[in-house]
Amino acid sequence: MRISKQAFLLVGLLLGLGTLGLEAQTGNLVGKILDEKGQSRSGEVFLAELSQKKEVGSDGAFRFEGLAYGVYTLTCYVAGLQSQSQTIRVDRPEVLVWLSMREFSQNLRTIEVEGQAAETSALTAQRLYAVEGVGIYEAKKNEVIILNNIASNEATNNARQIFGRVPGLNIWESDAAGLQLDIAARGLSPGRTANFNTRLNGYDMSADALGYPESYYTPPMQAVERIEVVRGAASLQYGPQFGGMVNFVLKEAPQDQKFSGELDLAGGSYGFFNAFGSVSGTLGKWHYLSYYQYKHNEGWRPNSGFDLHSAFVRLGYRPSESLDFRIEYASLYYLAQQPGGLTDAFFAQDPRQSQRARNWFKVNWNLFAFLVDYRLSERTRLNFRQFWLLSGREALGNLERITVADFGDNRTLIRDQYRNFGQETRLLHRYSLGSQRPLCC
């Protein structure tokens, strides 16, 4: 069988045209990633059919070359934006694609939240509930300082760090170690917190809540769990003080441990030393807590040192989940030397000098309490508080003007003794009135 030369030429021409046709059936996919504002974004693009992935730079441009004509699924991923998949048909030498990425969005069903949310921010104080224990705080003007939520120098009872989250307070630091708490509200004088009704675990701890409300006792902050500051109308249930009420609530004994201990030692400038130790636990129906603190400082100025001893004991008996008996004793003793004031001339000469070497101030504080908390039912609760205060303070020294030199004459002694007894009984009952549930106390 003989094939002519013309036949060979025809077959070769057909094969060449077929090859050219096959080469022409590929194209390029070119695109760019943009956000909703039209700005280029970096990310990744993926072709599912070819399992090809390309990294996309900050200019947002990408390119796939040599794609056979057909349909492809292009998926784009951008950090912080919703991923997007798009079907692309490659049917010409170059196909342009603009991918506009959107932010995450989802329509949620409407929900209603009833109640008071807990504010646990370290920058703000929390709030008391409308009814807390047997107290009513619906007036809303209250704050709760959780000591574990803030970073403060508890060894020195730094009032500025502890109470700084309560708006509207005047804070005066009269010493460098927290011997005396001086705070006030509404522009009142912060001296010895006289314009607040001060309490420890719910009972009065000041010299005289009505006649002489100055507070010489401040518990160590290492032993305090929270501080309740109540102002406005809700504070009237505690007394007539214009500032309101400040309640120091001490820590509770752990219910799952028979014995728990804590030891905290701290030192600082000018001979400052603080030692705090506590033990607590639960033994059957009995629970206990006790702490002791010793604090010493030589002072920044001469004749300004002090020694402080503070102690607390609590013994409780809980026969059932609804009944709790407690007896408590708090003690504070400190002796502080007072360097006296300075005139402007003395201060300009040497701000650290002292013109008084024989001035002293002593506080001896003793506070006893008996507490009963009884939950009669789900709606009725009874609270009984009885306390005794046997305390005193002494100021000894030359009380003349600082311009008068101390020649060693007889000093002036001012001695105060406080003998207080108090008792509070509160009965709170919740009752329904139509669709409302008001409270009766």
Two tokens, residue 247 = 């309640």
| Mean pLDDT value of segment 169-197 | 89
Cross-strand pairs, 23: none
Question: Is residue 353 scored above 50 in pLDDT?
Answer: yes
Q: What is the pLDDT of residue 424?
A: 93
Task: Calculate mean pLDDT across residues 170-196.
Answer: 89
- Who has greater pLDDT, 137 or 19? 137
**231 or 105: which carries more pLDDT confidence?**
231
239, amino acid identity: G
State if pTM tops 0.75: no
**What does the pLDDT read at residue 99?**
85
Asked whether residue 16 carries a pLDDT value surpassing 60, the answer given is no
pLDDT at 20 over 70: no
Query: Starting at the edge strand that comes first in sequence, how are the strands of the sheet with 360-375 ordered?
Result: 260-267, 273-283, 286-297, 306-320, 323-337, 360-375, 380-397, 412-430, 439-440
> Kindly report the CA angle at 221 between 219 and 225, in degrees rounded to 5?
100
Output 40 or 131, whichever has higher pLDDT: 40
Instruction: Give the whole-number percent of the chain exceeding pLDDT 70.
Output: 90
Q: Per DSSP, which regions of 119-182 are E strands?
A: 131-132, 135-136, 142-146, 169-171
First to last CA, the chain: 122
- Whole-angstrom Cα Rg for the chain: 39
Question: Would you say 82 and 105 are in contact if contact means Cβ atoms under 8 Å apart?
Answer: yes
Q: Who contacts 50 (Cβ-Cβ below 8 Å, separation ≥6)?
A: 67, 72
CA pair distance 91, 71, nearest whole angstrom: 9
Give Cα separations from 192 to 204, 331, 338, 415, 434 (angstroms).
15, 18, 16, 17, 47
User: Helical H runs in 51-136?
Assistant: none
The tokens for 204 are: 């009065």
| CA–CA dist 180, 171 (Å, integer) | 11
| Mean pLDDT score, 405-431 | 92
Where b means 16+ CB within 10 Å and e means fewer, 275-301 reads ebebebbbeeeebebbbbbebbbebeb
Q: What's the CA gap between 107 and 109, in Å, rounded?
A: 7
What DSSP line would sit under 290-349, residue for residue? Answer: EEEEEEEE--SSTT--EEEEEEEEEEEEEEETTEEEEEEEEEEEEEEE------HHHHHH
CA distance 387 to 409: 42
For the chain, give the mean pLDDT. Answer: 87
Q: What does 11-64 look like in DSSP terms, one character per residue? A: HHHHHHHHHHHHHTTEEEEEEEEE-TTS-B--EEEEETTTTEEEEE-TT-EEEE
pLDDT at 17 over 50: no
